[in-house]
Structure 1
């Protein structure tokens, strides 16, 4: 029924319809068409960008982001969004659809808003699934092995760049408090995937430095998600209320820890339910049901949905079916997560960093400032490790530098909330790109010439009893 009506709108001569009826029907019936074409552009950009990035030994997520920049408002103008200040006339995709469907300007504008809203919802769903997947990959049992050294590195790696970035933006550039806090929060992220890949290639994943970096990055993710939940909620109110900040920090922490604690009792029930189901999706559907329920509960107490999804991932990672669940979540994430990354890139107007335009120069200076803080704020974490005179502190600090997909999550949430100005948003994107590009070669240089360590992290934590059963598990 819908297809017949849709086909008629596309190919029936307009002489048989009034202008008002055509505008109304075309704007509603062509939404699906516009979304399909948008997804074609999204997937082409993400896959081509990811493949090219992979071939030059860089994280594919960087390629997806750059692909979004190319098809977005900064270059080809195929995907543009109203929140970035664009209109239907700025989109070549909308111009094509207007010609294809013989749409009036009013119908084209309505189509543009509807298409953008659908893509934004899909992008939000993608980032929710991304955080669920990150939670599934964050092994809580490994956190108990990395010891206090990794925890100290993580705390320093969150506190130093957050404080330096926020205060610096407010004092040096007169950025309002909420955007400054959001940008400072974006500096706290660490991409565990990028660093782990490089450490594995170098044969250093099980070294003292490698395990401290990975452990600190996992803790960084937990702290970063709490920070993100707090600052995103602050963005909704538009002001810094100390009592509200305290409430958000406490509620986010209690929610996350409470979910993990209760998960110990939930895991048995979850496995029992999954074993009794006989139809397709007997494992992944209950898992996503739980993840979306947790996301809803987080939203209900004024936190971000992504915190609930992350907590759900941490809980289900403790089940006996975690490996099977990981494999089933990956293809779903492969479909939805690229929409988020490409959308982030498409919304970023890098034209505001063009130095030829005088009013853009402040954005370039802000980007340079964020990049310096992002690098120094993480490098200093290596000197937070104490009692290990022979350890490679520079390698630990450099290993914490890449922001990767986690930094993009911050940028995307900030962009969706409307709290970031165009120069500040573009500066954050540039910071994420540069730190992610620099980290792999710099980590290789930091380890170059040093001896291959034979000690594992177990020797770092004198409080841990190394029982064979625990080690083998």
Structure 2
């Protein structure tokens, strides 16, 4: 999710109404208190959910997502995010109102401001996650899988988009532009969720993992282009070809240019790091590099996570890679759970309740979108060529989760007024299901290969068996 998708709370009418009455010295501590309480809730939800999932042999990230759903708008309302300008105080801000004696309008302002702070922290969390994933990735392996990853990404965008759009038009008689918008939502892939699961399973550097990550990065770029096209279509009824061409060229120039220049300049970077004597002499310059590339990506109308991932790839080629990985891990442990809990907290699972009559048309359409959304990504594994013995099913499943990227499509569609309530609910339901089924499915399809009895008799065989058990656990 790009930071540009966050609506600044300063533009909300409440600021105009309260600007003369709000004392920063009074509201500042209250906002800080709301943020701190939100972080307590987030860390508890992520830790409890992650530990439970690990004990039942599911990826910890799934527990963080579920924990977010429980503390979010679907269940406990401890975390409520004011998106699209809406103001809905959370239980945390209500508690502050009761203890501090605030007016309701001020409470709403505190709630919205703190939710924006947490949202920005979650964005920084996913930037750190992609930087860490880039460090752990094998750049030569990604380049080797480049053509195959490109094919997987293109098929993963084209198949669900075409199947979803045509199916909605002919089976459900939905108008063309809303059908195109819903079909576009099917093209998304959440690189953050898939990458975290692969890292937990120690499969990130596997041939399957490299193809999935490479395809997910390209899929993210294609998703941005598709979103720009359908958003333009929704507003004007026409597509601005110049904007599409610009995004394609800027994406290619950014990725290729960043890697080439990074490789050329990395010796000078390491020379500078070696001359620094203060704390964080390696970590801080590396984060500066990652954030700078993230800014350049945003300036080019791409995503900050692509810049951070590219920075990780470049620095992962240096001889300080292992040292930098060790220093990044504690920061990732602090910030990354915020991202996954926030994704769950923003997810409204009430759209899945069939007892609500208004949900039923959306659930019928959602069933179709879920099938297309899963199968449309799974078939991408069949396009992998020249890799005998590779787990093609795992590659397809790794492209399934829509996560926060799918929610962006839904949010843009809702804001444009193109989507009906039933179609909007169907897209959200598809995002929820694909996000939550992908981690356990990855665990299933990535079962360790069987080790023969004679092999176990050798020292190498014992090492393989031990590694397989660790990966399974």
1:222 to 201, 217, 224: 217
How much does 1:87 deviate?
Answer: 3.5
**Counterpart position of 2:8:** none
TM-score, scaled relative to structure 1: 0.77
How much does 1:318 deviate?
Answer: 1.6
CA distance in 1, matches of 2:180, 2:299: 22
How much does 1:409 deviate?
Answer: 4.2
**Counterpart position of 1:438:** 441
CA distance in 2, matches of 1:318, 1:79: 40
- Structure 1 residue 296 corresponds to structure 2 residue 295: yes
Q: Deviations over 1:379-412 (max 9, x none)?
A: 3234334567xx568x4124430358x7434245
1:180 to 179, 182, 192: 182
3-state SS of 1:282 partner: coil
Query: Structure 2 vs 1, CA of residues 100 and 199 (structure 1 numbering), >3 Å: closer, same or farther?
Result: closer
Query: Structure 2 vs 1, CA of residues 223 and 332 (structure 1 numbering), >3 Å: closer, same or farther?
Result: same
State whether residues 61 and 196 of structure 2, in contact with CA within 8 Å, keep that contact through their aligned partners in structure 1.
Answer: no
**Counterpart position of 2:397:** 401
**Counterpart position of 2:349:** 350
State whether residues 84 and 347 of structure 1, in contact with CA within 8 Å, keep that contact through their aligned partners in structure 2.
Answer: no
Q: Deviations over 1:192-231 (max 9, x none)?
A: 553576686xxxx99xxx63x2332132133123224434
CA distance in 1, matches of 2:190, 2:109: 39
Query: Structure 2 vs 1, CA of residues 48 and 268 (structure 1 numbering), >3 Å: closer, same or farther?
Result: same
State whether residues 186 and 410 of structure 1, in contact with CA within 8 Å, keep that contact through their aligned partners in structure 2.
Answer: yes
**Counterpart position of 1:138:** 137
CA distance in 2, matches of 1:316, 1:150: 22
**Counterpart position of 2:15:** none
Select between 74-83 and 171-180 the one with higher mean Cα deviation. 171-180
Q: Deviations over 1:131-163 (max 9, x none)?
A: 222222221112355586566445434443344
CA distance in 2, matches of 1:156, 1:263: 30
How much does 1:34 deviate?
Answer: 0.6
How much does 1:312 deviate?
Answer: 1.5
CA distance in 2, matches of 1:38, 1:52: 21
CA distance in 2, matches of 1:122, 1:39: 10
**Counterpart position of 1:12:** none
Query: Structure 2 vs 1, CA of residues 249 and 423 (structure 1 numbering), >3 Å: closer, same or farther?
Result: same
CA distance in 2, matches of 1:442, 1:105: 51
Select between 366-375 and 131-140 the one with higher mean Cα deviation. 366-375
> Please, what is the CA RMSD of the aligned residues?
3.5
Query: Structure 2 vs 1, CA of residues 252 and 274 (structure 1 numbering), >3 Å: closer, same or farther?
Result: same
State whether residues 228 and 244 of structure 2, in contact with CA within 8 Å, keep that contact through their aligned partners in structure 1.
Answer: no
How much does 1:296 deviate?
Answer: 1.3
Unaligned runs of 5+ in 1: 1-19, 454-473
CA distance in 2, matches of 1:335, 1:24: 28
Query: Structure 2 vs 1, CA of residues 379 and 105 (structure 1 numbering), >3 Å: closer, same or farther?
Result: closer
**Counterpart position of 1:10:** none
CA distance in 2, matches of 1:437, 1:417: 29
Alignment of 1:20-419 (within 5 A): 26-83=26-83, 87-89=87-89, 91-146=90-145, 152-153=151-152, 155-165=154-164, 168=167, 172=172, 173-174=174-175, 176=178, 179-180=181-182, 182-187=184-189, 191-192=194-195, 194=197, 211=207, 213-231=208-226, 239=235, 240-385=239-384, 391=388, 395-403=391-399, 407-411=402-406, 413-414=408-409
3-state SS of 2:354 partner: coil
How many pairs are equivalent? 420
How much does 1:307 deviate?
Answer: 2.1
3-state SS of 1:185 partner: coil
CA distance in 2, matches of 1:401, 1:143: 19
State whether residues 137 and 210 of structure 2, in contact with CA within 8 Å, keep that contact through their aligned partners in structure 1.
Answer: no
How much does 1:253 deviate?
Answer: 1.5
State whether residues 74 and 348 of structure 2, in contact with CA within 8 Å, keep that contact through their aligned partners in structure 1.
Answer: yes
